[in-house]
Amino acid sequence: MIDLKSFFPTITAFIAFIITLCCLFAGTQKNLLDNVNLLTLYTPEGSSPSPYFTTTTTTTSPAHTFYSVHIMSYCQGTLGPLPPGATDLYGTRNVTACSNRTILFAFDPTAAWPKEVTHGPALEWPRVISDDFHAFRMTSRAMAVLYIIGVGTMGTVLLVKGVEVATRKKQYGVFEFGFLVLGSLSISIASIIATALAFEFVALINAHGDGSGVTARYGDKFLGMTWASTGLLILGSLVSFNNVFAQAPAAPAPSKDEEEG
């Protein structure tokens, strides 16, 4: 009979593995979970007073109206018109392209924007925002490394469980617990960093972009997914600890001689 309790940590690790992979690879290709982003940078398109009703870019204003920042890449595009009765002031997102996937990615808005826009008369680019992204560059890269470590540890948990099932040996439980704890720590720290960037960094960009039309918005879907993964790993670690260390061993069945005596 299958012991569901012993498989519960593996199930949580598997679900967290899938969720974290989605967070990690979101935005690495066009239309690949491009709405699951850490934050989005919105920019006015040239002389247009608002980016909210733009449908296409122009030759006089080649900048895109939004840049969606992910863990290993960024996507860019334009904002479509607001549908009647819409409550979202940012309209429909039309992703046009995504950058190449890079493990140690750090978004540089000055490099992403065309030079004629960031240094031309069409927009007074707030250089302090570039400085903000530069200051958080190492933090963003450390977060990416933590997510990769978390994915690796979760994959190892699944591998350990597979070996345990194949060999029918229970001593692999302690390894499962150890990798679950390591995965929980790495994803928890990465989620904390992502949350700090999402709230504090976005507030900083909005403050420094005031008056230039540059705004930012944090990705609520990304935060929900990364914290869901964190919760699953912590829960799996607790159950694994109980399975390995806290659960009392079953009493051995009495022998035939003891029963007759």
How far apart are alpha carbons 213 and 125 in whole angstroms? Answer: 9
pLDDT in tens, 154-179: 999 888 888 877 877 666 778 888 88
Confidence of residue 18 (pLDDT cuts 50, 70, 90): very high
Q: Is 39 helix (H, G, I), strand (E, B) or coil?
A: strand
Residue 259 scores a pLDDT above 60: no
Of 23-27, 56-60, 88-92, 199-203, the range with the highest mean pLDDT is: 23-27
Per-residue confidence (pLDDT) for residue 15, from 0 to 100: 94
Who has greater pLDDT, 95 or 123?
95
Tell me whether residue 232 is exposed, middle or buried, using C-beta atoms within 10 angstroms of its C-beta: 0 to 12, 13 to 18, 19 or more. buried
How far apart are alpha carbons 89 and 53 in whole angstroms? Answer: 9
pTM of the model: 0.76
How far apart are alpha carbons 57 and 196 in whole angstroms? Answer: 32
Domain borders along the chain are: 4-239
Per-residue confidence (pLDDT) for residue 50, from 0 to 100: 40
